[in-house]
């Protein structure tokens, strides 16, 4: 975790305090269930909750000090709780194994993290939607291969991003369901020393599903799917960030990240306004994605478990979720405050001398009876002259002057073929598909 | 694609012939829709389908020869169709762009591949289920960290695998839905030259969803999610393969890959029976996973598209699906014919002198009134002697001879604590969860 | 391997025929050494070489047919050789294990592949160098963050690429040395059944080093280093390809991939010239890099070997080397024939109204006695006006009109600060560093 | 960075304080060179060094506070230095750009980190060597595919590890040289505002090479190679860790991680001694490797630089080096204190009834005149009986009772073939190769 790429709410999920709070809840709910089953006295469960009701401070340092002696984190925690609760606490953890606590806790943390990420995507979607409607009909050039193709609208670009992050939201919801399971099944998953009803009770209380069959641990294919999904979301962040970076480059300059009046762009070149937020997002996307491979390598634990996954998760659990949360927040800010320059978009649209309308002319010629091959050649020979003039010549004018063309299409027909509105006629349809009918 | 790791049905999906067949169907269905909209004559659509009804051979070499001249695959294909269908074919592809055909075709191929993979998982699930019920109550040692822990049953191990691959099936179904979309939206996705109803018609005919908003291409976050999912399935394959490899090692030998009488294991050591299929599966899993990173890197295409994704997909489209299909088939065979040795499992269970029952003794001592710490020490001092004897001493006998223990638990009680049945009492519950109640 | 991204010479290295030829040489050289040691008759070695001198066709189908029965590739090969050579061939392979042949063969193939790749880089370096000197002093704008910074020359951009690929060459040479080792040490690497002098002899004959200590196999950290190095080279390819893609985008257009007169860019937009080769190289770079992770995962084989690495290497051995060879060749062609537009570079340089000289003005003001902060503000207030005029205003003119500036610097001094030559004065120094002094 | 997997010396390299110290040295050495060139007064350089000689505390909080205003880290640092040094400090940083400082600083940090890692490997090599000589002739079974193959010695296993880490050391030395370069070349690498001799001077003072041609930044192929190398070292760590994990599993138990008398293995199973250090190393290896892909993705920066690499390096710079340093230290401890059980190795060697000698018998039969095929069948039919007896039958006894065998080999000859010494005769040779002749 790099502090400058972290926000407090997500960071708090991974704090020692939050972890110990979740541990306590797991233990206390389990003790409730054990008491209901008659395995331990009801007074034991009550003692735990009574203490909890006093809103005790979690003394992380004290627990760490015990762990330094016992070299076992869960035992250290149980010892500390016992010191606070007293004699009754000895019934805690009956028949459970450390992993029951650790893995169920991780499930809660990942579910909490997923909830934040889903809320982040909601905020991003709202920002994208607002800007998309704002520029629903702002014409801009569509580009394939970085080369001008045909007109689109800036709203359509954002509608694409909206649809993509809407898919990301659905994926995050599915990823949350993957990992939000509770396992309290004992040392090798047989429930030999603990009744399955304890698991069911704790799961219900924590809002988790039961893990149908665990070993000592919850199977790591679930976590692999979770982190793989974060990696896909990161890919989508990189895509939108890359779009902004392209739009901001000097020669294009159709949009810019917001630049506050007092901000310095460079120690050497005071005029520079750099797309540093989106470049940063590109790097952060690489980092979130870098969690995917170790998460995949974590799946094949040996037999009923080995602990190789644990150190990996100590890194990627916090790092991938904190970084993705930060990145989604940063991207939301970028979109929300993005400086958008419609005039420049129009200027760029026009700079190719109308070449962007060539396919439409091609189709019109075909429909007017020319063969596909002839139409192609007719358009190409005029298009090439415009291209070589660097947009100084006008395709429309050249076509009007080409007898082989005017034999098929009148000047009026040609002029009509260069109408931008033609390209916008289905924007409503697409917006309805993406944002829902009004 | 490496031929020895490929099966014909999946390989056929990626053949040039299948690709061209799908292209034809896209074009012909689109022509139908265009005719219905009055854009092209109905006779054009009819001409295409009439020719198709003759079940023409797809002359891949002829199409390749045209492409060698035109340097454009879709134009080459359209030219070849025109040569066969005649004049009416010129109405094909009206207002479409190559990517409409290429991307929708890829969607069909990936959906076909997903269908095979789902069927593969079904076959694997059936094999696992059969063997799981066969060994539902076969006792075997559960191991954490490679060290004997407590008894489980071999059926439980397989139930775990079943649940994991059942999740994989659900993930594959979701991954299929991710990629099974149709985009026929023209050069930059605006439908400027083609009515959205054409897309809807082709999508319906091919069993795809419409892509709500495309650029020139279908967005690659969908494909990233698809290949990431294959990577997770590969992780699960590696896990089960690793289990078999462990079980087959000389000192364990609780199971073996089927070994036909005439098979030679090694040119040098005639007695060797090596788990080469599961070792191979471990390697194949690495390969399927290796598609995930490039698929994630493919997401951030520039503007409305660049073509960097294409070469990646020419590799990973076939490679990841063909390899995963092969691996699932191979794993199914391994499980189906796995030689399982219950006697050896029992022998291994017994080799630790009963140490595997220590936690149960620990609990019993606690319940009999000893403190957790005292119980732990009592068990540990006896357990350590057994451990150091390499299983020659019996924990049960030592406990019976330990006055501090017998002060709490009678010999009969101690004997009962070493009953294997204790560990199996919830196997039915778990099987019901995994396989459904009988 | 995807045929369209493969060249014949590299592909041949991975052919069955080449593999069998190398196997034969290993076996025959080993038989020589065994004969010299008196382990086998000299006549046995002679028989092998006599047959080889007849330049026998390698009958791959026949060997495959034998393997279909024996299910063992090396035994099948030895059998086929015996069928051809006769009785004397039975002394072949004495004391050797299959891996001695397989791993040493892989070493030879990887060394051959490395030689081709090094030659590829040499060809690329030659192309880059030629174009670098051609445009040594062609002014062009340097960009950071995609934003105009200060002038550079196009030759400097290419010098950077040259230096980078020169490092890649050194890395490939080191990677070749990593894998070019010979192991003929028997079933577990102890030389129990074969004298180490056999290994030394074969190594010398094949131009390999001896593997100081092998297990059954050559350790896979060597191969991991090899494929990691290919991944780094791929990264450098992507970098130069990305530069070309940027330079070719419509608004920049400072360079273009060569576009032959008859070539069609798009089925829909006849004017388009797309940087498809460099986009393709971007994708191919992703694929070469995708070999790195499985190669790293191959290192941790179990004990003296497991065979999980083998399937991985059947993919990545050919795929990564063939794809990288193709990519280097394609990139060489791109650079060699790159259309470079100095006029456009100058036009782009000028389009910011001289803002690219702002840092120089800043320094001059400082040296003329202004504080750093004052200088910054003086430059910034003029620079911002130029920026907002989209290059219509001239920074030089504004500065000349700013009394606070002219209080420090005369008009003549200011004019001198806008001299492009200032930025080129150390180009010779850099060229000497990169290409060596003349 | 996860504190529990970090050691102080490596962590200190990445502290803000160390970074600022390096920044100062870069700036002060550059000022020296600028003074020698007459660009700035010598008094400016002296003022810097005079202040430095007072061993000033680096007030990180103060610098951070300035950065919070300026939003620029280098400017903040320069401002803080100016506040301390006074008026003369304004000559610092003349003609330099932030990246000159940042990238050269990163080079110093990576070189410092590499030095620690190389020292770590030296310590590991020393531990491996000591244990290797201690067990140079301790017989143990060699295993391929997890199956008993032929005898090796435990010293040979460690010699293999030694040779592997010796290669890792050489790779780390090469990786250090890759990144240890100095670039002080100004905003786009042209030295427009700074003489190349400044770069040369600073490089010499800091023990770096000059970067022959930089853009705004040092090219990232260097860093990619660095992190790729760390990934390979991590692979080797995983390999040795995996070996220990296998050796410690209950059924094998030929070695164990050191287990202190008071240590608790499990909260539930007091007898357990788990290989948790090496399992942990397996996970840490995954994390170090996870830096490789983002480092490769960092290479293709746009034009003369974009800043996407920076956030990646803020993670992987510290994380990969700190984690690898910790892992090497932990592995050294594991090897140093490894409990090694020769008796158990012998017991395991014997458990297959002598099958491990079968290849030697096979060879002897061949040399005694039997055909390869006959020899194979003779050995195999006896070997299979031993195998099926689970080592209760003795291969030697069965062979002595097989008339077809004794027709070729006498009982004495057969007995000699089962001599363990036979497998150790070249251990000296291998040790000489690996550790150097005595």
The catalytic residue positions of A are 145, 266
pLDDT tens digits for range D362-413? 889 988 999 888 998 899 889 888 878 878 899 999 999 999 999 999 999 9
D314 vs A: CB within 8 A:
yes
Q: Which residue has the tokens 């030095």?
A: D115
Architecture of domain C96-258+269-351: Up-down Bundle (1.20)
A274 with D310: Cβ contact below 8 A: no
d(C-alpha D152, C-alpha D158), whole Å: 11
Q: Tell the CATH topology of C355-417.
A: Ribonucleotide Reductase Protein R1; domain 1 (1.10.40)
Q: Which of A194, A242, A268, A303 to mutate to test the interface with D (most CBs of D within 10 A)?
A: A268
Chain A partners within 8 Å of B236 (Cβ) = 221, 299
Q: Are D379 and B267 in contact (CB under 8 A)?
A: no
What whole-number distance in Å separates Cα of residue D152 and Cα of residue D130? 18
Burial of B327 by CB count in 10 Å (0-12 exposed, 13-18 middle, 19+ buried)?
Answer: buried
* D143 contact C CB<8A: yes
> Which CATH number is B1-94 given?
1.10.275.10
Q: Does C271 touch chain B (CB under 8 A)?
A: no
Task: Determine the distance from the C-alpha atom of residue A24 to the mean position of all C-alpha atoms in its chain, rounded to a whole number.
Answer: 31
Instruction: Say how far apart CA D82 and CA D48 lie, in whole Å.
Output: 9
CB pairs under 8 A between B and C: 133
- Please tell me the predicted confidence (pLDDT) of residue A358: 87
The band of A438, judged by pLDDT with boundaries at 50, 70 and 90, is: low
Residue B169 is inside which H or E element, if any?
helix B154-179
D141: tokens are: 């079974």
At B390, the pLDDT band (50, 70, 90 cuts) reads confident
- State the pLDDT at residue A262: 60
Give the integer Cα–Cα distance in Å for D98 and C270.
46
Minimal Cβ distance to C235: which of D282, D296, D363:
D296
**Domain formed by A96-259+268-352, architecture:** Up-down Bundle (1.20)
User: Closest Cα of chain D to C262: distance in Å?
Assistant: 31
pLDDT band, residue A268 (cuts 50/70/90)? very low
Classify C293 in phi/psi space as left (phi over 0), alpha (psi -120 to 50) or beta. alpha
pLDDT band for D96, please (50, 70, 90 cuts): very high
Report, as an integer, the average pLDDT of A160-164: 98
- The minimum CA-CA distance between D262 and chain C, rounded to whole Å, is 31
Measured CA to CA in angstroms, residue B433 lies from A104, A223, B137, B156, B430 at distances of 19, 21, 16, 12, 5
Q: Provide the residue-wise pLDDT of chain C in tens; the chain has 438 residues.
A: 899 999 999 999 999 999 999 999 999 999 999 999 999 999 999 999 999 999 999 999 999 999 998 888 999 999 999 999 999 998 999 889 999 999 999 999 999 999 999 999 999 999 999 999 999 999 999 999 999 999 999 999 999 999 999 999 999 999 999 999 999 999 899 999 899 999 999 999 999 999 999 999 999 999 999 999 999 999 999 999 999 999 999 999 999 999 876 665 554 465 578 999 999 999 999 999 999 999 999 999 999 999 999 999 999 999 999 999 999 999 999 999 999 999 999 999 998 899 889 888 988 998 899 988 899 889 988 988 887 887 889 999 999 999 999 999 999 999 999 999 999 999 999 999 999 976
For residue B241, list chain A residues with Cβ-Cβ distance below 8 A. Answer: 300
CB of A261 within 8 Å of a chain C CB? The answer is no
Q: Which of B268, B274, B284 sits opposite C311 (nearest CB)?
A: B284
- Cβ contact A267–D72 (<8 Å): yes
Contact across the interface for A192 and B426, Cβ inside 8 Å: yes
DSSP sequence for D19-35? HHHHHHHHHHHHHHHHH
Angstroms from A148 CA to nearest CA on chain D = 20
CB C138 within 8 A of CB C157: no
Which residues 52-81 in chain C show a CB within 8 A of chain A? none
Phi, psi of A140 (to 5 degrees): -155, 160
B42–chain D Cβ distance below 8 A for any pair? no
Residue C143 main-chain phi, psi, to 5 deg: -125, 130
Counting as contact any 3 or more CB pairs under 8 A, the partners of B are A, C, D
Among chain D residues, the shortest Cα distance to A290 is held by D290
**B216 with B266: CB under 8 angstroms?**
no
> What is the 8-class DSSP label of residue A244?
H
Q: Are C371 and D90 in contact (CB under 8 A)?
A: yes
Determine the Cα–Cα distance for residues B291 and C345; give it in Å rounded to an integer.
Answer: 39
* Dihedral sign (CA D399, D400, D401, D402): positive
Chain D residues whose beta carbon lies within 8 Å of the beta carbon of residue C305? 144-145
- The SS3 assignment for B128 reads helix
Residue C133: both structure tokens together: 């000197």
Facing C235 at nearest CB: one of D163, D289, D300: D300
Tokens 């991204």 sit on residue: C5
pTM, to two decimals: 0.96
Say whether B222 and A167 touch across the interface (CB within 8 A). Answer: yes
pLDDT digits (tens, 9 = 90+) for B308-366: 999 999 999 999 999 999 999 999 999 999 999 999 999 999 988 998 898 889 889 98
Q: What kind and span of H or E run contains A295?
A: helix A292-297
Name residues 81-110 of chain D within 8 A of A (Cβ).
93, 97-98
CB contact under 8 A, A311 and D283: yes
Structural tokens at position A73: 């984190």
pLDDT at residue B266, as a whole number: 53
Nearest Cα residue to A239 out of A170, A175, A162: A162
Contacts of B307 in chain C (CB under 8 A): 274, 276, 279-280, 283
In angstroms, the separation between the Cα of residue D402 and the nearest Cα of chain C is 24
**Beta bridge partners of residue B151, listed in sequence order:** B141
Out of B190, B221, B243, name the one closest to residue A232 (CB): B221
Structure tokens at D3: 């504190």
* Mean pLDDT rounded to a whole number for chain A: 94
Find the CB nearest B150 among A174, A188, A220. A188
Cβ count near C261 (within 10 Å):
5
Which tens digits make up the pLDDT trace of A93-136? Answer: 988 999 999 999 999 999 999 999 999 999 999 999 999 999 99
Task: Out of B145, B260, B271, B303, pick the active-site residue.
Answer: B145
Q: Nearest residue of A to residue D307 by CA position? A: A279
CB proximity list for D246: less than 8 A, separation 6 or greater: B146, C302, C303, D146, D252
SS (H, E, C) C308-361: HHHHHHHHHHHHHHHHHHHHHHHHHHHHHHCEECHHHHHHHHHCCCCHHHHHHH
Comparing CB atoms, the residue among C156, C213, C307 nearest residue D145 is C307
Residue D428 has pLDDT above 60, yes or no: yes
Cβ neighbours of A298 in D, within 8 Å: 283, 286
The yes-or-no verdict on residue D266 having pLDDT over 60 is no
Rounded Cα–Cα distance for residues A337 and A333 (Å): 6
In eight-state DSSP terms, residue B305 is B
- Return the H-helix or E-strand segment holding A148: strand A147-153
Residues A128/A163, Cβ–Cβ less than 8 Å:
no
Nearest to D270 among B147, B269, B358 (CB): B358
CATH 1.20.200.10 is right for the domain spanning B96-346: yes
Distance between CA atoms of residues D68 and B397, nearest Å: 71
What is the rounded distance in angstroms from the CA atom of residue D181 to the CA atom of residue C155? 22
Instruction: Pick the closest to residue D250 from B254, B155, B363, B138 (CA basis).
Output: B254
Q: What is the pLDDT of residues A325-336, one digit of tens each?
A: 999 999 999 999
Interface predicted TM-score (ipTM) over 0.85: yes
Residues contacting A365, CB < 8 A, separation 6+:
A374, A375, A378, A379, A405, A408, A409
Distance from CA of B157 to the nearest CA of D (A): 19
* Alpha carbon of residue A341 to chain centroid: 27
Per-residue CA distances from C332 to C328, D302, D304 (Å): 6, 20, 21
Nearest-angstrom CA–CA distance, B102 and B78: 13
**Tokens of residue A133, six digits:** 């409607």
The C-alpha torsion from D413 through D418 and D421 to D425, rounded to 10°, is: 70
What amino acid positions of C are annotated as catalytic residues?
A: 145, 266
Q: Where are the domains of chain C?
A: 1-94, 96-258+269-351, 355-417
With beta carbons under 8 A apart, name residues in chain B contacting A239: 221, 299-301
CB C310 to CB B283 under 8 A?
yes
SS3 D141: strand
Distance between B379 CA and the closest CA of chain D, angstroms: 7
Token code pair at residue D72: 């620029």
| Residue B260 forms contact with D (CB below 8 Å) | no
Residue written as token pair 């309805």 = A432
- pLDDT at residue C418, rounded to an integer: 94
Q: Reduced to 3 DSSP states, what percent helix, strand and coil does chain C have, rounded to the nearest 5? A: 65, 5, 30
CB C352, CB C386: distance < 8 Å: yes
Most confident of A159-163, C417-421, D148-152: A159-163
CA distance C163 to C433: 9
How much is the average pLDDT of A128-148? 97
Is the dihedral angle over the CA atoms C230, C232, C233, C238 positive or is it negative? positive
What would the DSSP string read from start to end of A82-107?
Answer: HHHH-GGGGGTTTT--HHHHHHHHHH
The answer, for C221 touching chain D at a CB cutoff of 8 Å, is yes
Task: Give the nearest partner residue to B429 out of A196, A216, A225, using CB atoms.
Answer: A196
Using only C-alpha atoms, chain A has a radius of gyration, in whole angstroms, of 30
Nearest to D149 by CA among C307, C92, C107: C307
Q: Does 2.10.260.10 match the CATH number of domain D99-184+214-349?
A: no
Using CA atoms, how far residue C203 sits from A103, C181, D48, D428, in Å, is 53, 7, 59, 20
Contacting residues for A65 by C-beta, under 8 A, at least 6 apart: none
Interface B-D: count of C-beta contacts within 8 A = 123
What DSSP designation does A57 have?
A: -
Q: Catalytic residue numbers of D?
A: 145, 266
Q: Three-state SS for B182?
A: strand
- State the burial class of residue A404 (Cβ atoms within 10 Å of its Cβ: 0-12, 13-18, 19+): middle
- C-alpha D167/C-alpha C222 separation (Å) is 9
Find chain D residues with C-beta within 8 A of C150's C-beta: 186-188, 190, 192
Render C108-157 in DSSP notation, one character per residue: HHHHHHHHHHHHHHHHHHHHHHHHHHHTTT-EEEEEETTEEEEEEEHHHH
Is there a contact between D4 and A263 if contact means CB atoms under 8 Å apart?
no
| Cα gap A437→B210, rounded to integer Å | 16
Q: Closest partner residue to A306 among B146, B191, B303, by Cβ? A: B146
Question: Is C269 in contact with A150 (Cβ distance < 8 A)?
Answer: yes
Q: Which residues of A touch D314 (CB under 8 A)?
A: 2, 4-5
C-alpha–C-alpha distance, residues D69 and D65, integer Å: 7
> Nearest CA of chain D to the CA of A21: how many Å?
20
């Amino acid at each position: 975790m790099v502090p400058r790429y972290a926000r407090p709410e997500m960071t708090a999920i991974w704090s020692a305090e939050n972890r110990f709070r979740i541990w306590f809840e797991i233990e206390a709910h389990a003790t409730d269930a054990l008491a209901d089953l008659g395995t331990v006295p009801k007074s034991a469960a009550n003692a735990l909750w009574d203490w909890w009701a006093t809103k005790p401070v979690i003394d992380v340092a004290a627990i760490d000090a015990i762990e330094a002696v016992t070299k076992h984190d869960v035992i250290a925690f149980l010892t500390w709780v016992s010191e606070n609760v007293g004699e009754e606490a000895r019934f805690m953890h009956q028949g459970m194994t450390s992993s029951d606590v650790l893995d169920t806790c991780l499930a809660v943390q990942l579910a909490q993290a997923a909830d934040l990420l889903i809320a982040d995507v909601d905020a991003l979607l709202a920002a994208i939607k607002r800007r998309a409607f704002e520029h629903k009909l702002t014409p801009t050039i569509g580009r394939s291969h970085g080369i001008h193709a045909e007109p689109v609208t800036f709203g359509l670009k954002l509608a694409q991003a909206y649809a993509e992050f809407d898919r990301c939201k659905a994926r995050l919801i599915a990823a949350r369901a993957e990992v939000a399971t509770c396992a309290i099944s004992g040392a090798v998953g047989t429930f030999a020393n603990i009744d399955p009803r304890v698991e069911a009770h704790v799961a219900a209380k924590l809002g988790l599903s039961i893990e149908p069959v665990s070993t000592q641990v919850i199977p790591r294919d679930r976590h692999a799917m979770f982190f793989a999904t974060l990696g896909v979301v990161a890919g989508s962040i990189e895509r939108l960030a890359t779009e902004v970076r392209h739009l901001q480059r000097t020669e294009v300059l159709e949009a810019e990240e917001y630049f506050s009046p007092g901000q310095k762009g460079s120690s050497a070149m005071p005029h520079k306004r750099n797309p540093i937020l989106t470049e940063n997002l590109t790097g952060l996307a690489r980092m979130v994605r870098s969690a995917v491979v170790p998460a995949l390598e974590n799946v094949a634990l040996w037999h009923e478990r080995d602990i190789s996954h644990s150190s990996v998760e100590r890194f990627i659990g916090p790092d991938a979720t904190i970084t993705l949360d930060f990145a989604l927040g940063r991207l939301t800010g970028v979109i929300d405050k993005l400086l958008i320059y419609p005039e420049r978009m129009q200027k760029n649209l026009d700079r190719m001398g109308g070449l962007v309308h060539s396919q439409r002319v091609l189709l019109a010629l075909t429909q007017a009876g020319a063969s596909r091959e002839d139409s192609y050649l007719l358009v190409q020979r005029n298009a090439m002259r415009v291209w070589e003039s660097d947009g100084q010549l006008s395709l429309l004018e050249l076509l009007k002057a080409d007898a082989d063309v005017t034999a098929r299409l009148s000047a009026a027909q040609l002029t009509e073929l260069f109408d931008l509105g033609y390209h916008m006629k289905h924007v409503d349809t697409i917006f309805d598909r993406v944002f829902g009918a009004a």
